[in-house]
Amino acid sequence: MSRQPFILTAEGLNKSFAGFQAIRDLSFYLDIGELRTVIGPNGAGKSTFLDLITGRTRPDSGALMFEEKDDLLKLNEYQIQRLGIGRKFQTPTVYTRHTVYENLLLSLAGSRGLWSSLFHRTKPAEDERIDEILQVIKLSDRAYDRAGSLAHGQKQWLEIGMLLAQDAKLMLVDEPAAGMTDEETHRTGELLMSLAGPRTIVVIEHDMTFVRQISAGRKVTVLHQGGILCEGSIDRVQNDERVIEVYLGRKSRARAKPKAKPQANSHAA
Ligand code: ADP
Ligand code: MG
């Protein structure tokens, strides 16, 4: 039996900014339907990797293919989005003055454009799809409120809903739990897990409680200095010596540091 094609194949990617190598010989293979978590210290190149996939930034070298047939390096950002690759940025980017419903309608309509979407009667099928998405993201009771009035976590869910409305096959989600309460974070984890399978999701995240929640039985990738340091189950990754050294260890050492003792070195003067 032949294997399923990878939904995303990255091979030997490199990207420098003014001499600083943000992405270094990065190869990454993603199966259809995966929920893959990517972790790594600040500056590891995580967001830059997403920028390369979406065409926002171009690599200096390497290959980037979608479903093993579309060469992403030959397409612009808009064409990449049309292929079914959706991106959620770290900070929510919803239309705050429009209602939750209108935000979803705009994403659903896509190329139809802002004004014609808002001022033309919606088709029953569109209404139905928006209702479904509202239920999935648990915002049915906020449908006719302005997006700007939503709590931070709810804005993030709306944005995930907008990726669903766009019908993204591959959803790239950058630090969804940032700024969320524990309760919102947990619900976000449940939402992403419920979407994986029919869709493929890459989640970049720092919050290790959240990472453990969504990565049970799945693969985690650790980025460091623009390349892959380690890949595997969360337990394998958290026990990897190199990961402990560059990432988790550094954090726990920082936490273990005793409270500042301003006088400690004064005798040395
Ligand atoms: P992460 O998301 O893992 O924290 P980033 O991908 O945002 O890391 O950044 C990786 C490195 O590349 C950082 O040192 C950052 O300053 C640098 N970088 C990212 N984008 C740009 C850019 N457009 N211009 C210059 N430097 C950049
Ligand atoms: Mg980032």
Is residue 224 in contact with ligand 1, taking CB distance under 6 Å? Answer: no
Mean pLDDT, the chain, integer: 89
Starting at the edge strand found earlier in the chain, the sheet holding 61-66 runs 20-30, 8-17, 61-66, 70-71
pLDDT, tens digit (0-9, with 9 covering 90-100), for 91-110: 778 999 999 999 999 888 76
Q: How far is the CA of 112 from the centre of ligand 2 (A)?
A: 31
- Give the range among 9-23, 138-152, 183-197, 240-254 with minimum mean pLDDT: 240-254
Dihedral of alpha carbons 160, 166, 167, 172, sign: negative
Domains parsed from the chain with CATH numbers: 6-250 (3.40.50.300)
Is residue 89 in contact with ligand 1, taking CB distance under 6 Å? Answer: no
Q: How far is the CA of 141 from the centre of ligand 2 (A)?
A: 32
For 222, other C-beta atoms within 10 Å of its C-beta total 24
pLDDT, tens digit (0-9, with 9 covering 90-100), for 121-142: 677 888 899 999 999 999 999 9
Q: How far is the CA of 164 from the centre of ligand 1 (A)?
A: 28
Q: Residue range 64-74: average pLDDT? A: 98
Q: Which of 13, 24, 48 for mutating ligand 1's site (highest number of atoms within 8 Å of CB)?
A: 48
Outline where the chain has alpha helix (H). Answer: 46-54, 77-83, 100-109, 114-119, 124-136, 152-165, 182-195, 208-215, 234-239, 241-243, 249-256
Is residue 43 in contact with ligand 1, taking CB distance under 6 Å? Answer: yes
